[in-house]
Amino acid sequence: MLGLGAAGVAAAPYVQNGIDSFLGAAAGKDPTGVTGLLPNSSGFRYYSVAASTPKKTGQTYRLTVDGLVDRPATYTLAQLRAMPQTRLVRDVQCVTGWRVPETPFEGVQLSHLLALAGVRPSARAIRFTCFDGTYSESLTLQQAGRKDVLAALRMQDKDVTHAHGGPVRLYVAPMYFYKSAKWLSGITVTDRVQPGYWEELGYDVDAWVGRSNGRSDTPTV
């Protein structure tokens, strides 16, 4: 049961110390640098602000959609897999500077889940919560309606691994990767933006990656 991935995660706190001293200024200037390096994960770093996160499977995973909606819902992984899937290939960009070019993500458009739920007229924003019990994120309703914002079930053409926030993570393609909340468990429609975990600590709520990074604010799907 403990495969290479689990060993990599277990080793992450030790690797983190190495990275912090290794990267020095880079790690220091960015608080999201609480990280470890996953061996053989093609440039990705493993990020979690929680000390540990329970593993969820196809049997135990649930995604809840609630708040200012007419039809609150709770979905299993099988139900999410049965919905229309969108595949996007974009560059992943972390604010700390590392990036992973042309990474495929695939999943259900957030706008599809919102349409099923029936968003009420008073709605303005979305709050995302995670089953690590700590992390949160936010989007305006307008941002959440973009076609390049997904509840992602697949990353790098594999099911999203536990280390990368599986079985389901948020994927906000046009924004810095901290918007892409791992271990997604809750989508709550709200009447105003409630800043997420890093945003409480000073990060931009609107985290668009600039055009210089090869992205445009215009959705391409």
Residues near Mo ion, by CB under 5 A:
32, 94, 177-178
Distance from C-alpha of 104 to C-alpha of 71, rounded to nearest angstrom: 31
Task: Name the segment binding ligand MTE (CB under 6 A); options: 6-14, 54-62, 66-74, 130-138.
Answer: 130-138
Q: Which two structure tokens, joined as six digits, stand for 192?
A: 């105003």
Of 146 and 164, the one with the shorter C-beta distance to ligand MTE is 164
Of 119 and 160, the one with the shorter C-beta distance to ligand MTE is 160
Residues shown for the chain: 221
Smallest distance, Mo ion to C-beta of residue 198, A: 8
Of 152, 144, 197, 131, the C-alpha closest to 175 is 144
Query: Which of ligand MTE, Mo ion, none has residue 127 at its interface (CB below 5 to 8 Å by kind)?
Result: none
Distance from C-alpha of 1 to C-alpha of 221, rounded to nearest angstrom: 39
Distance from C-alpha of 215 to C-alpha of 72, rounded to nearest angstrom: 34
**Binder of ligand MTE out of 27, 36, 44, 150 (CB under 6 A):** 44
Contacting ligand MTE within 65-104 (CB under 6 A): 94
Cα first-last separation, the chain: 39
Query: Does 153 participate in binding ligand MTE (rule CB under 6 A)?
Result: no
Of 45 and 146, the one with the shorter C-beta distance to ligand MTE is 45
Of 174, 120, 166, 124, the C-alpha closest to 146 is 174
Query: Which of Mo ion, ligand MTE, none has residue 175 at its interface (CB below 5 to 8 Å by kind)?
Result: none
Sequential DSSP letters for 86-130:
EEEEEEEE-TTS-EEEEEEEEEEEHHHHHHHH-B-TT--EEEEEE
CB 138, CB 205: distance < 8 Å: yes
**Which residues have C-beta within 8 Å of that of residue 199, sequence separation ≥ 6?**
138, 205
Of 38 and 119, the one with the shorter C-beta distance to ligand MTE is 38
Query: Does 105 participate in binding ligand MTE (rule CB under 6 A)?
Result: no
Smallest distance, ligand MTE to C-beta of residue 154, A: 13
Smallest distance, ligand MTE to C-beta of residue 35, A: 8
Of 36 and 68, the one with the shorter C-beta distance to ligand MTE is 36
Of 16 and 68, the one with the shorter C-beta distance to ligand MTE is 16
Smallest distance, ligand MTE to C-beta of residue 3, A: 17
CB 95, CB 30: distance < 8 Å: yes
Which stretches of the chain bind ligand MTE, using CB under 6 A? Answer: 32, 44-49, 94, 130, 132, 135, 164-165, 177-178, 180-183
